[in-house]
Amino acid sequence: QLQLQESGPGLVKPSETLSLTCSVSGGSITSAYYYWGWIRQPPGKGLDWIGDMFYSGITYYNPSLKSRVSMAVDTSNNQFSLKLTSVTAADTAVYYCARRTSGSTYDYWGQGTLVTVSS
């Protein structure tokens, strides 16, 4: 059974960089059939797509975040990561990592991790 688990600081100061890692177990991140993505959910609100990446390094980012976001893959540890620079309170959200199918839906999700941006 595939499992994804987010990890990283729960509190980030304004203007600093948010860094999260998603650890994948029960399947390989180097599968040719899947992308790996990040989606966030501000408290009490809906879902926002951040971006997806393929293990080879191909990335797709939400244009609204493109100047601040980067994603990377660590195949040796079966992990992928998210960095979001220059954060503000508007970046406070539960951050989910997820597997994206070839059909572009997200079929497996991590449990999510709350990141609060505050001084």
Residues in contact with another protein by the rule CB under 8 A: 45-49, 60, 62-64, 96, 98, 101, 103-107, 109-112
Nearer to another protein by Cβ, of 31 and 109: the residue is 109
Compare residues 7 and 62 and give the one whose CB is closer to another protein: 62
Q: Nearest distance from residue 41's CB to another protein, in Å?
A: 8
N residues, the chain: 119
Q: In the complex, what is the shortest distance from the CB of residue 76 to another protein, in angstroms, rounded to a whole number? A: 26
Strand partners, 93: 115
- The amino acid present at 55, given as its one-letter code, is Y
- Closer Cβ to another protein, 30 or 101, answer by number: 101
Which amino acid appears at position 116 of this protein? T
- The span from the CA of 14 to the CA of 1, in Å, is 37
Cβ-Cβ contacts under 8 Å for 44 (sequence gap 6 or more): none
Q: Shortest Cβ distance from residue 38 to another protein (Å)?
A: 11
